[in-house]
């Protein structure tokens, strides 16, 4: 519940620097898993990000697509989760909005 309150207060702005966020999370000592919450496409090519994270220790990177209707971005998040033996989730604040992304089993539509 505390994490949800914290996430609810976040404001989105600027670009989506996915690689730096992942590097930060994966560099934490004794990390057991990383949660990547994003609302859009990364600002670097997806292939570059996937190859760069292989340089770090094997840690699950659970991905959360938040109100993102970009199919390419959602497919990347799903691939990132699969590559790291993690889970991909989709969160929509507008329950009536159409989701555009990978189908289950790697996707779970979670209404807010």
**Structure token pair of residue 1:** 């519940």
CB 91 within 8 A of CB 64: yes
CB 61 within 8 A of CB 81: yes
- The Cα 76–Cα 86 span in angstroms is 13
Tens digits of pLDDT across the chain (112 residues): 777 777 777 776 667 789 999 999 999 889 999 999 988 889 899 999 999 988 888 999 999 988 888 888 888 999 999 999 999 988 877 766 676 777 644 455 554 3
């Amino acid at each position: 519940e505390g994490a949800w309150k914290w996430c609810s207060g976040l404001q989105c702005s600027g670009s989506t620097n996915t690689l730096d966020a992942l590097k930060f999370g994966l560099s934490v000592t004794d990390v057991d898993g990383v949660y990547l919450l994003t609302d859009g496409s990364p600002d670097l090519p997806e292939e570059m990000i996937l190859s760069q994270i292989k340089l770090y220790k094997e840690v699950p990177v659970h991905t959360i697509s938040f109100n993102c209707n970009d199919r390419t971005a959602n497919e990347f998040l799903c691939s990132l989760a699969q590559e790291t033996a993690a889970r991909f989730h989709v969160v929509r604040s507008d329950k009536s909005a159409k989701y555009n992304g990978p189908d289950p089993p790697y996707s779970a539509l979670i209404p807010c």
